[in-house]
Amino acid sequence: MLICPNCQHQQTSGNFCGVCGSTLEAEAGTNTANQDNHEQTAAAAEPVMNEQPADNTGEKIKDGLSHYGHYFLNLLKNPSFALQTHENEWLQALITLVITALASSLSIYFLMDSMINSVMGTMMGTNLPFFSTMLSVLTVSLIIIALAFVSTLIMAKAGRTPDSAKTIFTQFGSMTVPFATVNAVAILTALAGSFVFTLLLLAASNGLLLYVIPALMVYDKTNSVSRTGPKVYLSLAAVLIMLLFMYVISQLFFSEMISQITSMLNTPMGF
């Protein structure tokens, strides 16, 4: 019998939990029974392993992708499992945050490019620069997501949560799985030239990620410590901190980015 170390779900076969996607562990009795078989086959398997290291690396990559696939799909089906993830899933959470920021940045780029081409027509003679624009938008997106985590961490610790920063990071990143999916859909709508629908998707995704998720996590962490604690005020404080962060970001980055784009559009094309 296999048991999940994360949610304690039991199943008879498989490498990953069918509920939360964590790596399964065999029960103590099963480990004892299989130990002799593992020792007997170790000597015979060692030459094969030494001869084919590339295959072992490939298997590790395959298992890692399979693990992340289970992790992502299970959280997409039920995002509430994100609050039960442990710090050993931090890498999956980090990958999800990067995917979320990358998908958001791509959808913003394609949206801006389509809008500029729609307004300027053939007057520009070129598309919006991809690498420089994407690098700027992606950098800002990653900074904003990092600040959303910081606001969550500050107020969760103010609520005296015993969870470590690594655990809170893992759960915060896991909560972004639905938003990574929405941002991926926004890429398709931006490529299709649907300005309004793309803006709606991005506004909903980023608004929930940056303001609602920190408030929900702070409420959950504070409520787990004390049901009579100031969980509502701490949750609202997380939102206010994020609003302050966004004001600073807008002053530092957004104005400069808009100025650069405006300058590029106003620059006459030479032939």
DSSP letters for 187-232: HHHHHTT-HHHHHHHHHHHHHIIIIIHHHHHHHHHHHHH-TTSSHH
Q: With 80 as the cut, is the pLDDT of residue 255 above it?
A: no
Task: Examine the domain organization and report whether 51 and 96 are in the same domain.
Answer: no
DSSP secondary structure code for residue 267 in this structure: S
Q: What is the average per-residue pLDDT within 205-223? A: 95
Q: Are residues 104 and 231 in the same domain?
A: yes
Task: Give how many domains the chain has, as a whole number.
Answer: 2
Residues 242 and 126 reside in one and the same domain: yes
**Pair (149, 200) in one structural domain:** yes
Evaluated on CA atoms 115, 176, 76, 219, the torsion sign reads negative
**Residue 271 confidence class, pLDDT cut points 50, 70, 90:** very low
3-state secondary structure of 160: coil
* Same domain for 153 and 27: no
Both 100 and 231 in a single domain?
A: yes
28 lies in the same domain as 136: no
| pLDDT, position 163 | 94
For position 48, what pLDDT does the model report? 44
Say if 84 falls within a structural domain.
no
Range name among 86-100, 109-123, 132-146, 252-266 with the lowest pLDDT average? 252-266
What count of other Cβ atoms lies within 10 Å of the Cβ of residue 220? 17
Out of 75-79, 94-98, 256-260, least confident range: 256-260
User: Does 49 score more than 50 pLDDT?
Assistant: no
CA 119 to each of CA 59, 109, 199, 258: distance values in angstroms, whole numbers, following the listed order: 50, 15, 17, 16
| Alpha-helical runs (H) found in 78-129 | 90-120
pLDDT of residue 32: 46
Please tell me the pTM assigned to this model: 0.75
Do residues 46 and 116 both lie within one domain?
no
Residues 197 and 117 in one domain: yes
Name the pLDDT band for 266 (thresholds 50, 70, 90): low
Residue 161 lies in a domain: yes
Residue 251: what pLDDT? 81
- Do residues 158 and 245 share a domain? yes
From residue 107, give the alpha-carbon distance in Å to each of 16, 33, 148, 171, 252: 32, 53, 20, 25, 22
Where in the sequence is the domain holding 29, given as residue range(s)? 2-61
98 in the same domain as 28: no
Question: Which residue has better confidence, 195 or 29?
Answer: 195
Structural domain includes residue 249: yes
With respect to residue 7, please indicate whether it lies within any of the assigned structural domains: yes
Calpha distance 52→70 (Å, rounded): 27
Q: Tell me if 81 sits within 8 A of 177, measured CB to CB.
A: no
pLDDT value at residue 256: 64
Residue 85 in domain: no
Domain-embedded: residue 143: yes
Same domain, 123 and 189: yes
Chain-centre distance for alpha carbon 153:
16
Q: Model confidence at 19, in pLDDT bands (50, 70, 90)?
A: low
